[in-house]
Amino acid sequence: MNRREFLSTATAAGVAGTVPGSAALFAADRAAKKPRVGMIGCGWYGKVDLFRLLQVAPVEVVSLCDVDKAMLADAAEQVSRRQASKAMPRTFGDYREMLKEKDLDIVLVDTPDHWHALPMIAAVEAGADVWVQKPISVDVVEGRAMVAAARKHKKVVQVGTQRRSTPHLIEAVDKVIKPGLLGTVGHVDICCYYHMRTRENPPDSAPPPTLDYEMWTGPAPMRPYNKLVHPRSWRAFAEYGNGIMGDMCIHMLDAVRWMLGLGWPKRVDSAGGILVDKKSKANIPDTQSATFDFGALQVVWQHRTYGHAADPEYPWGLTIYGDKGTLKADVHKFAFTPLDAKEPAITGKALFEYDKYPEDETEKDLERHVASAVRWHMKDFLKAIASRGKPVADIEEGHISTASCILANHSLALGRSLTWDAAGQQVVGDPEANKLLRRPYRAPWVHPEPTA
């Protein structure tokens, strides 16, 4: 039932104003300037993001959308318990039906990666400011279209690269980088050595009855359903995302770009593949290195899904090398070691806010050390909405970090270095590489265009 149908039914029954979602509540939200929120994608990180928003702002969650009815119903019940009004949000299986009402101020897009572009663009067209998870896109042209749509409709779009709002990383920037304690930086290492790539190879099967697998697949190639696809393990397949490069490298590359004030890389080179675990159903690399050349310095990525981490203290992190010292950081901590032993070392740790938000201690599947970062990122998003300015992880910044990782995957596939023309959004002198910037869409879905 959409809002108009509900209001008609409620009025006829004489209960308008007494049922959550009624005309009285709609009017009350507007009168109180209470932002009306909708979310597309009600899985793990969708709820993490939405519940942090509920912690920091007096919003009303009025709409939820997911292609899995069971996941959708569970999310709606949890939201009704958490939000102040205790109202049950409306539920939808198709984001287009949710956005058709055009009564949302904020939309969160927390779908799998292959479903980021179309809902984000549709949400700004429907008049909402948007929070979209990283990586923003699966191909480069999608990202360009998303930036263009945000600018055309003058909407605030925050990307879920919350390292830019991580309290202890902000501390590292303020105490180490801004004062110049690193000296001249010439090299950065970023890495992930988590054993996060599935090693399973289960048989294909029929999708669960609660899942609309056709809609879940959307513009991606249609694969036979497999239990690894839904929920959460879809990252094992290149059809739905950009592998570990797009999932984990983007966080650390984006953090380095923010910390050091870097724009687009001038050249990207990558190598690797499925070199060890060749028996699993996953088709993404288990081993990959990439060099992002920014001219004055290089940022070098490495991931392996086997063996020991190069530094067990920082299995997923960044190391910035300067001629006066070294800064190591990850989602848990940072440590600055000066080259001169007479100078003091500086350290910091993740911020836990259990005194303010005790529910963090018991929330299922919450990365507790990251909760403060998501909250701070939400606060930055809300501040940008109020000022109509750009948030710290503006959609264009998300596009740069996302596209850089996509280019690394293309470099690996083509077996050569790619020189990037940031102004023209093209690979220089490489028609074959430029064809890869736009992935084919499965009918009837139509690839978005970067129009002004």
- Give 345-376 pLDDT, tens digit per residue: 999 999 999 999 999 999 999 999 999 999 99
State whether residue 387 is helix, strand or coil: helix
pLDDT confidence of 231, banded at 50, 70, 90? Answer: confident
145 with 316: CB under 8 angstroms? no
**pLDDT at site 86:** 96
Per residue in 405-426, pLDDT tens?
999 999 999 999 999 999 999 9
245 and 405 Cβ atoms separated by less than 8 Å: yes
- What global pTM score does this model have? 0.93
How many CA atoms within 13 Å lie on the side-chain side of 446? 5
- Long-range contacts: 435-441, Cβ < 8 Å, 24+? 436/139, 436/410, 437/139, 437/140, 437/141, 438/139, 438/140, 438/141, 438/142, 439/138, 439/139, 439/142, 441/219
- Verify cis geometry, omega within 30 degrees of 0, for the bond prior to 231: yes
**What are the tens digits of pLDDT across the range 6-30?**
333 332 333 233 334 445 555 666 6
Q: What is the CA radius of gyration of the chain?
A: 22
Tell me the per-residue pLDDT of 267-313, one tens digit each, with 9 for 90 and over. Answer: 999 999 999 999 999 999 999 999 999 999 999 999 999 999 999 99
Alpha helices in 153-291 (DSSP H): 167-172, 213-217, 243-244, 250-260
Query: What does pLDDT average to over the chain?
Result: 93
Residues of the chain above pLDDT 70, percent:
93
Q: CA nearest 191: which of 293, 309, 282?
A: 309
Burial of residue 118, with CB atoms counted within 10 A of its CB: 0-12 exposed, 13-18 middle, 19 or more buried? buried
92 vs 96: CA distance, rounded Å: 9
Question: Distance between alpha carbon 168 and the CA centroid of its chain, in Å?
Answer: 20
Q: Measure the CA–CA gap between 106 and 100, rounded to whole angstroms.
A: 14
Q: Go through the domains of the chain in sequence order and give each one's CATH number.
A: 3-160 (3.40.50.720), 164-365+395-435 (3.30.360.10)
Give the torsion through C-alpha atoms of 7, 382, 142, 194, to 10 deg.
-110
∠ CA 203-68-233 to the nearest 5 degrees?
A: 45
Task: Write out the DSSP string of 125-176.
Answer: HTT-EEEEPSS--SSHHHHHHHHHHHHHTT--EEES-GGGG-HHHHHHIIII
Cα 154 to its chain centre, rounded Å, is: 21
Structure token digits, residue 9: 């039914």
